[in-house]
Structure 1
Amino acid sequence: MKKGMFICVEGIDASGKTTQAKLLVKNLNKKGYEAIYTSEPTKGFFGQILRQKILYGNKRAPAVIEALLFALDRLEHVEKEIKPALKKGKIIVSDRYFYSSIAYQGAAGLDPAWIEEINKWAVKPDLAIYLDVPAEVVIKRLGKKRSVMETLENQRKVREVYLRLVNEGKLMLIDGNRSVKEIGEEILQVVLERLKNRSL
């Protein structure tokens, strides 16, 4: 039976991760692989609460509430989308995963070990990519229309946590301060190399 592959793409806001996750799926499909795109927060029950009340509200909820809601949304995501796709041998590319919780709620003061604990049941990605872009660059990209999490200070803190995860070997860093094409080509090569090594 063909084994599926789970990839997640992480990064601070406006780092280009959504573009790259979708581009990776498109490029893999062109190469003959069955790849699908998914994202967090999802469009499920808890994902809708996160989108409406937490991410785009006027003020931030307590970090512990955010972390628990994201974990509940992720549980639904894993059971309804990720596991079924992997069982069918598909490549599933997620735009954000539990590393986002460690980065964002960790930057808000929560213990990263506790965040990992409430997400310990989550399927571990075969490859976790982090698109690194300076906080100052993403703030310019975002312009004036920003959510409560999209402040320069917060993005800097979140980036620091992501870089710590890179240093711990949990994420693979890709320079996100280049053209969409250049970044996309590098990510595709990394993924194809992983797929090739798995089939040896």
Structure 2
Amino acid sequence: MIVYPHHERYPGRLIAVEGLDGSGKSTQIYLLKRWLEMKGVKVFFTEWNSSLLVKKATSKGKKRQLLTPTTFSLIHCTDFADRYERQILPLLKAGFIVLCDRYIYTAFARDTVRGCSKPWLHKLYSFACHPDITLFFNTPLQVALNRILGGRPQLKYHEAGMDLGLATDPYESFRLFQGKIYEEYLAMKTRFNFIEIDGTLAIEEQQNRVRDLIATTIDLPRYRCRTLG
């Protein structure tokens, strides 16, 4: 079993959100960020697959359909490692609350579905500490699919999981791909101490639960920006 490092020696706190596309997690972490900012808390936000270092390579590889499951996984790990070393870790050391829209569990779920070995993936990401809080927005598959497909006229090749050969129709492929990812999340939730949030609740009710959880778990006044005076 891989033993992940702890960041308890750092003053900051790490909060991650996970869930299917359409689960509502991105909306909730944005609202959480705004709430913390209004409270004067030192907060930093980062999201999956956003490193400028590998963005061009990722885009080119996807567009030309050159990525095998292993290279796809390694590129995303490179993206994460860059953000971890340049953003996440330094800000934890500086005493910030760091919010992550997707964390290593996204790789564990998606890359396992694409055929990568779970032990290999866990070892690949073993440099990363686990969050203080991981919120899993548990949204039924059909609800999440309806949210995504209702506002998106066309699915991208890899987004739909077309590289897996699950179905010839992009929408059916997406449904099957997301279903397999959902199963992986459910299998992980106990091992990695996910805190479940019902993704079918009203946005305001979900946010109230998230805020109550954060306020009772983290000493927020400790992370307020200090003003000179």
Common fold: TM-score over 0.5: yes
- Matched residue type, 2:42: E
- Matched residue type, 1:161: E
1:133–1:177 CA contact under 8 A, matched in 2: yes
Q: Deviations over 1:57-88 (max 9, x none)?
A: 47583221111111111110111110111111
Q: CA offset at residue 51 of structure 1? A: 4.5
Structure 2 CA distance for partners of 1:4 and 1:106, relative to 1, 3 Å: same
- Segments of 5+ residues of structure 2 without an aligned counterpart are 1-8, 161-173, 223-229
Deviating more after overlay: 89-98 vs 186-195: 186-195
Give aligned pairs, total. Answer: 196
1:63–1:105 CA contact under 8 A, matched in 2: yes
Aligned-residue CA RMSD in angstroms? 2.2
More helix by share: 1
- Matched residue type, 2:57: I
Which residue of 150, 155, 160 corresponds with 1:146? 155
Residue of structure 1 in register with 2:138 after alignment = 132
- Segments of 5+ residues of structure 1 without an aligned counterpart are none
Residue of structure 1 in register with 2:166 after alignment = none
**Aligned ranges for residues 106-121 of structure 1 at < 5 Å?**
106-121=112-127
Q: Which has the larger radius of gyration?
A: 2
Residue of structure 2 in register with 1:163 after alignment = 186
Residue of structure 2 in register with 1:101 after alignment = 107
Question: How far apart, CA to CA, are the structure 2 residues paired with 1:178 and 1:60?
Answer: 40
2:13–2:97 CA contact under 8 A, matched in 1: yes
Residues 1:192 and 2:202 aligned together: no
Question: How far apart, CA to CA, are the structure 1 residues paired with 2:64 and 2:195?
Answer: 34
**Aligned ranges for residues 15-34 of structure 1 at < 5 Å?**
15-34=23-42
Residue of structure 1 in register with 2:6 after alignment = none
Task: Give the TM-score of the pair, scaled to structure 2.
Answer: 0.78
Question: How far apart, CA to CA, are the structure 2 residues paired with 1:98 and 1:126?
Answer: 14
Q: CA offset at residue 132 of structure 1? A: 1.1
Q: CA offset at residue 127 of structure 1? A: 1.1
Which residue of 15, 29, 50 corresponds with 1:7? 15
Question: How far apart, CA to CA, are the structure 1 residues paired with 2:126 and 2:12?
Answer: 20
Deviating more after overlay: 29-38 vs 57-66: 57-66
Residues 1:180 and 2:203 aligned together: yes
Runs (4+) off by over 6 Å = none
Task: Give the TM-score of the pair, scaled to structure 1.
Answer: 0.89
Residues 1:41 and 2:87 aligned together: no
